[in-house]
Amino acid sequence: MAHTLPETGQCRVIIERVEPQVNSGRFPVKRTVGERVAVEADVFTDGHDRIYCVLLYRREHQSEWHKTPMKPVGNDCWQGAFSVHDVGRYYYTVTACVDHFASWSGDLKRRTDPGDIEIALLAGAELIDAAASRAQSSDANRLRFFGKALRSDDDWRVRFDTAFDSELAQLMSRYTDPNLAAVYDRELTVVVDPVLARFGAWYEVFPRSCSTEYGRHGTFADCEARLPYIAAMGFDVLYLPPIHPIGNTKRKGPNNTLVAGEHDPGSPWAIGSAEGGHLSIHPELGTLKEFHSLIARAREYKLEIAMDIAFQCSPDHPYVKEHPEWFRHRPDGSVQFAENPPKKYEDIYPFDFESTGWQRLWTELEGVFRFWIKQGIRIFRVDNPHTKSFYFWEWTINSIKRDHPETIFLAEAFTRPKVLHYLAKLGFSQSYNYFPWRNTKYEIVQYLTQLSKGREREYLRPSLWPNTPDILTEYLQYGGRPAFMIRLALAATLGASYGIYGPAFELFENKPREPGSEEYLDSEKYQIRHWDLQQRDSLKDYIARINRIRRENPALQFDHMLQFHAVDNESLICYSKNTEDLDNIILVLVNLDPHHTQSGWLDIPLDIFGLDADHSYQVHDLLSNARFIWNGPRNYVELDPRIVPAHIFRLRRRVRSERDFDYYM
């Protein structure tokens, strides 16, 4: 039986291992506006011919490819890069061909016999003529000029020099034979998000607890009045838990008790009542017009509002009566409530993503995002996405970002590692993670190295939260005020994106509901709280200082340059971040022990920062504003957690001497 021949058997180049790509190109990699996409590929051919390799890239709605040459870096590996300047999707791939002209000129350089050179010059002229036939008019004329020059009666030495003209080399690379080009077998995708998807500080607050009157339900107007306080701490995003009507049936009372009192407000995550569902606002918070006012006022303070999207219903949600097919039913006919035996969450009905009415369910839920986008929201924190269909999230996020590429989705992905990673792959812009429970030096180094250096850095953007309304770790419960300072310093400098749940954090709320629990005593999830924002030992000024340091130092605005450094005390952790040009170098030291002063000797690999081990350099503590002169890679540090448990140093690569002054003679 005869085998079908390929369209062209003239192509001799192999292209393999194009990186970055996720799941063999099944999912896009992620970048933010202004970032570079560094691409690497293995490209080779049979024999000893040289290769011309090009990186192709384009925006989603462009038909023409932009081209940038790739460079060989050894062992048949080629590298190139392009920058992304707009939100949306970009595509990229790699093409390569045997570069007959470069192979010819490389051989020509090694020839010594004049007769041999004469023949080689004629062969080169034929290559140039072939390129001229493929070229545009002005370029074709120049190529024909070079072809004639190589055939001329000039001395062979003159023609030899002409063969290596830089203009000729550029023209020949521009007009390689397309029939000889190999193209990687797929187009890879980059999703480009706003910078806020990579770098930003989030602050979570319950609007119903923003009232200045004890016991009164807060409103959007009260939340507006809180904006100067939040903005003064330097946050970028104000995140609100669900703002929808709350169900009455099986409403939970204080501390998650099963029976609520007449005036207990219930959990905001038990969404839906006679007043409406996911497209409605809790009447006690205010009106849609007042919500618009909050969004606009927040932007005046350079704050973006993030909304919580929780796809679940209270028993009173209109969906329960209007679309019973969207829920599972028990043998007795009742709707199946959420449960994790022996725990029962009878105030919440989960959607059934195996429902026969799944198409209408998907469309309805996607419409929830679109409704709030029309109201001015561009950032969504998604509650428990791992308990909903992965295919639904992929479809929904792709659909939304196709029309609104500036939209940011934060996944509350406190779940198993592979599930956490899959949610990030299929489209979530940011992800909660295991940072709250990484408290020892070993745990922090291992986990943050994985997040910043592993393959997941291409698709998973970690958002580091030391606390949430659901998570009060043992470290915070028993470490007192210093523990909150330590975890804030770590979250804000290890991660370009981080957040806190306040005012519980800055007022170091640390009482659990019961021993061994990570639930707060008197949790805001179930009752209105009144906070004393003027508490004298509040951490608000410390938070403001750290957020200002983050904004003023570009090194802290990325994760991929994170490096850990040796220090001879397991209670001290040292790490750095720097810009690629080394113009901004930040070195952070944190005492992980909230109870005792710790000291030690740290070792800094000065060469990676361009510092000379034989000369002094300055370290400027951006927290205390103190400046020190250090010598060499090994230096002593001591941190008392009761004062400030961290140093955030900016390293200056040169210390002034008398020679820097104009009167030095």
**CATH of region 562-652:** 2.60.40.1180
Is this model's pTM higher than 0.85 or not? Answer: yes
State residue 84 phi and psi, 5-degree precision. Answer: -110, 130
Residue with tokens 């000024």: 541
pLDDT-based confidence at residue 11 (cuts at 50, 70, 90): confident
> Over the range 344-367, which residues count as b (16 or more CB within 10 Å of their CB) and which as e?
ebbbbbbbbbebeebeebbebbbe
**How far apart (Å, rounded) are the C-alpha atoms in residues 162 and 175?**
18
In the numeric block, which tokens belong to residue 149? 């020059």
pLDDT tens digit sequence for 545-584: 999 999 999 999 999 999 999 999 999 999 999 999 999 9
Fold for 225-312+358-556, please state it: TIM Barrel (3.20.20)
Task: Find the range with the poorest average confidence among 177-186, 312-321, 435-444.
Answer: 177-186
pLDDT tens digit sequence for 310-330: 999 999 999 999 999 999 999
- Written as one letter, the residue type at 34 is G
Task: Give the model's pLDDT for residue 341.
Answer: 87
Torsion of CA 362, 364, 370, 376, to 10 degrees: -130
In the predicted structure, residue 6 carries a pLDDT above the cut 90: no
pLDDT tens digit sequence for 231-285: 999 999 999 999 999 999 999 999 999 999 999 999 999 999 999 999 999 999 9
pLDDT-based confidence at residue 662 (cuts at 50, 70, 90): very low
Decide whether 13-192 matches 562-652 in CATH topology: yes
Task: Give the model's pLDDT for residue 3.
Answer: 64
**How far apart (Å, rounded) are the C-alpha atoms in residues 386 and 419?**
7
Q: Where are the domains of the chain?
A: 13-192, 225-312+358-556, 562-652
Domain 13-192: which CATH class?
Answer: mainly beta
242: helix, strand or coil? coil
- Written as one letter, the residue type at 172 is M
Average pLDDT over residues 503-510: 98
Strand partners, 13: 45
State residue 505 phi and psi, 5-degree precision. Answer: -75, -55
- Binding-site annotation, residues for alpha-maltose 1-phosphate: 252, 312, 347, 384, 525-526
Report helix angle 358-374 to 390-403, nearest 10.
40
Average pLDDT over residues 443-467: 97
Nearest-CA neighbor of 542 among 495, 496, 595, 502? 502
Cis peptide before 417 (omega within 30 of 0): no
Chain-centre distance of CA 105, in angstroms?
45
Find the length of the chain.
665
Task: Collect all residues with Cβ–Cβ distance below 8 Å to 217 and sequence separation of at least 6.
Answer: 208, 211, 265, 284, 285, 528
In the predicted structure, residue 658 carries a pLDDT above the cut 60: no
User: DSSP assignment of 585-619, as one string?
Assistant: EEEEEEE--SSS-EEEEEE--GGGGT--TTSEEEE
Share of the chain above pLDDT 90, in %: 92
Please list the active-site residues.
Answer: 383, 412
**How far apart (Å, rounded) are the C-alpha atoms in residues 469 and 383?**
12
Report whether 468 contacts 501 (CB < 8 A).
Answer: yes
- Binding-site annotation, residues: 252, 312, 347, 384, 525-526
Report whether 68 contacts 93 (CB < 8 A).
Answer: no
pLDDT-based confidence at residue 117 (cuts at 50, 70, 90): very high
Average pLDDT score, the chain: 95
